[in-house]
Amino acid sequence: MDETEQEALGEAAAAALQEASAALDEASEVVEEVQAAEDGQGDPIWRSATLRAADWFNPLLGSPSGPFEAVATVAAFEPSLMPRTSVHQGIAAGASALAARALGTGVEQGMKALLPRRAGLPLRLTARAAIGGVGVALANLPDRDDRALWRAGAKSAGQVLAAVSASGALYDVSNTLKHRYRRGRTAQPVLGAIGISAAFAIWGRRNLEHRKSVIPRWPIEQTNDFPMALGVGYAVYAVGAGLGKAYISSRKALVSYLGPGPSKRVIGGIANAALWTAGAVTAYNAGVGYIGRSNENIEPAYAMPPVSPLVSGSEESVSTFGDLGLQGRRYVTDVTSRALIEEVMGEPAIAPPIRVYVGYNSEPIYPMGRTELAMRELERTGAFERSHLLLVSPTGTGWVDQTMIESAEFLTRGDIATCVVQYGRFPSFLSVQKVALGRQQFRALLWSIRNRLAGMPEDQRPKVYVFGESLGAWASSDVIMYQGVDGFDHYGIDKALWVGLPGLAKWSRNGMASGRSDLVPEGTVSVFDNPSEMGKLKAAERRRLRATVLSHHNDPIAVMSPDVMIEEPEWLSDERGRNVPDDMEWFPFGTFLQVGVDAMNAMVMVPGEFGSFGHDYRADMATAVATAYNIPATVTQLKAIDESLVTLELERADRIKAAKAEDAPAPPDYRGTHLEDASTGKLRVEAGVPLQGKRTSGAKWLKSMIGREESADIL
């Protein structure tokens, strides 16, 4: 017998031994159940099912990580950055329990590899004490000023090891006592499970009531009831656990199909991971593709091309109205008018504003396609003849905060042109993968404009400003701040305003947002929580400021970063910012999940109800724009702008909700034209030629790429 045959025979024998051991364990469990049934009273099947249910609901007997999962679930009800609905609270609780389960299972698998298969309680407790001791030692590593991530990771791993070890020890002791004293008893295990579960439920309810009392409420009524949240949490946990078991089962099936051998086990594991990844990607693409169809929706009040030739989508525009998308059509329709600017500012307007928008559906036959289209629109509208040129990077859906654009148009007395190039059509949390495309497009736009302005006399060039909010701030700031503040001069930019800058942004994570980098001279970059902090700047400081970052202390999108998983962030230190609860605590991995859930509902807004809270920056915009771009305005004018922004947003909300265009108020630029009913102030549809149908045909270039026939929904 050669060595290969001996190795194969050895592997087969090991596999057979493993199967025999598993069968022996199952037989032992059956014998124990039969013995328990003989010792008990009543129907043995009913009693066995009851005891199994009691064990499942008892946090101490479910699994070695059960106590750890229960504590993690209860901790999810503690104060965090944002208020929550019952659904969001349940997602937080379920996700926390799943994370605890994953961490606990990982440690448990490691311990099983070190101990004999049937190790007794003393040996198991000794092993857990040793692992816990290592965890405590790691958790108590001395802190250093360098804040190295490896040290933070080691300390966090130590905390997890200590917690999981304590959880496992509690499970081992409880399980031993169960087998020793349960025989012939049914009521005691059931009552014990009810009592322990009730104790954790009371703990969780108290945490929930406390979080409600310390976190400001939304302007709209939201319910967060403990029973509903707990039910959602159980559902999330069950789905997550079920998917985990399905993944393990499919891996075992593949390995069994391939046969014994370490190489085949590796191949089976890789194949299983590839299949699950392919399934997840397919489901994700299908989901976001369906959501992205909203970009083609036609709203009745935003179905008529603009009357002004100074905006995209007009009859003279090279960026057609149907290709602008949902957000683009709103953007160009709601441009402020010269008359409104004069009414709000109390002085003559210099010019009517220019708005250029290139939609996702515009044909990008090559990488520079959308940029070239934007440059053609800027030339056509005379944008380079204005005193101010504002370049905007939108969010994932193509949305631009209208309160910001309107503030800039008021403050510049209309002497401004804004330009937006859309790079995605999904909500920002589904568009993170689009940031690279957003950076590429914005870099191309900046470079094209820089070269265009280089051919103009210096005293005739407009001031170039940059604005980005949320994902748009991420994409645009990465382009400019890659070189630090020198990036402003490289691209010919005067100043930038970034609002709600995600913590995932590269230059923000590198410390430049806080002015800690050598690439950022003192006073050139500043981070503010609210406009009152900006008001403390002196005139010279405002002139020196190149990048203004407006970031609320309790904005979960702005503070969320991978570092939060393993390191306590500065914003949870003793000196906490505005609206950050004093009782919010940091836990390894757990706090990251809590902030992630908060980010899901950080921008719940009510039209006209402006708040300086979470990811809602509407109440800050007028002052932030005036300060960031150093545009002069009186206190009276800023107050008038704030009041007008509220009115304009309420009118915009009425247009969005209108089932018929005739029921919607006319936008500012339509007033006094043939598209407004002078007696009611409503739109006159018969005077224009609106888009037809419920949605446009979508991106022609995308259809050609996937081989679909084009269809025309636009008359």
Name which of 54-68, 620-634, 660-674 the model is least confident about: 54-68
pLDDT, mean of residues 615-641: 95
pLDDT at 389: 98
Looking at residues 702-708, what average pLDDT do you find? 53
CA 491 from centre of chain: 30
For tokens 């949605």, name the residue: 695
> What pLDDT, in 10s, does the model give residues 445-494?
999 999 999 999 999 999 999 999 999 999 999 999 888 889 999 999 99
Question: Could you give phi then psi for residue 609, rounded to 5 degrees?
Answer: -100, 85
Q: Work out the average pLDDT over 60-65.
A: 84
Gap between the Cα atoms of 265 and 252, Å rounded: 9
CB contact burial 68-88 (16+ within 10 A = b; e otherwise): bbbbbbbbbbbbbbbbbbbbb
Least confident of 41-55, 102-116, 402-416, 621-635: 41-55
Q: 302-329, pLDDT tens digit by residue?
A: 988 888 999 999 999 999 898 898 999 9
The pLDDT of residue 292: 74
Q: What confidence tier does 99 reach under pLDDT thresholds 50, 70, 90?
A: very high
Cβ-contact 460, 486 below 8 angstroms: no
Position 198 scores a pLDDT of 87
Residue 147: pLDDT above 80?
no
Would you list the DSSP string of 511-578?
Answer: TGGGT-STTS-TTSEEEESSHHHHTT--HHHHHH--EEEE--TT-HHHH--GGGGTS--GGGSSS--T
Here the contacts of 611-616 (C-beta below 8 Å, separation 24 or greater) are: 611/219, 612/530, 612/552, 613/216, 613/552, 613/554, 613/579, 614/81, 614/82, 614/552, 614/554, 614/555, 614/556, 615/470, 615/500, 615/552, 615/555, 615/556, 615/557, 615/558
Choose the weakest-confidence range: 104-118, 229-243, 349-363, 686-700.
686-700
Pair type for strands 354-358 and 388-393:
unpaired
Q: Which two tokens stand for residue 223?
A: 């319910």
- pLDDT number for residue 184: 54
Lowest mean pLDDT across 198-212, 446-460, 674-688: 674-688
**DSSP structure class, residue 1:** -
Residue 289 has pLDDT above 50, yes or no: yes
Q: Of 620, 468, 629, whose CA–CA distance to 546 is shortest?
A: 629
Q: What does the pLDDT read at residue 565?
A: 92
Q: How do residues 571-589 score in pLDDT, each as one tens digit?
A: 998 889 999 999 999 999 9
In this prediction, residue 34 has a pLDDT band, given cuts at 50, 70 and 90, of very low
Averaged pLDDT for residues 269-275: 92
Instruction: Tell me: pLDDT of 218 over 80.
Output: no
Asked whether the predicted pLDDT for residue 28 surpasses 70, the reply is no
- The 3-state DSSP class for residue 60 equals coil
Helices 86-114, 590-600: axis angle to 10 degrees equals 150
Average pLDDT for 599-613? 86
CA distance 260 to 19: 12
Range with the lowest mean pLDDT among 32-41, 214-223, 245-254, 576-585? 32-41
Residue 419 has pLDDT above 90, yes or no: yes
| CATH number for domain 316-555+602-634, candidates 2.60.40, 3.10.20, 1.10.1060, 3.40.50 | 3.40.50
Distances in Å between the alpha carbon of 376 and those of 365, 371, 389, 457, 458?
16, 9, 15, 20, 22
What is the C-alpha radius of gyration for the chain, rounded to an integer number of angstroms? 31
Res. 235: pLDDT tops 70: yes
Looking at per-residue confidence, does 143 or 365 come out higher? 143
> Which residue carries 């031993």 as its tokens?
176
Residue 432: the pLDDT is: 81
Confidence of residue 18 (pLDDT cuts 50, 70, 90): low
| Residues above pLDDT 90, as percent of the chain | 52
DSSP-derived pairing of the beta strands 416-421 and 354-358 = parallel
What is the per-residue pLDDT across 526-572, written as a single tens digit (0 to 9) for each? 999 998 899 888 989 999 999 999 999 999 999 998 889 998 998 99
C-alpha torsion sign, points 457, 458, 463, 464: positive
pLDDT at 181: 66
> Quick one: average pLDDT of 96-101?
94
Predicted TM-score (pTM) of this structure: 0.85
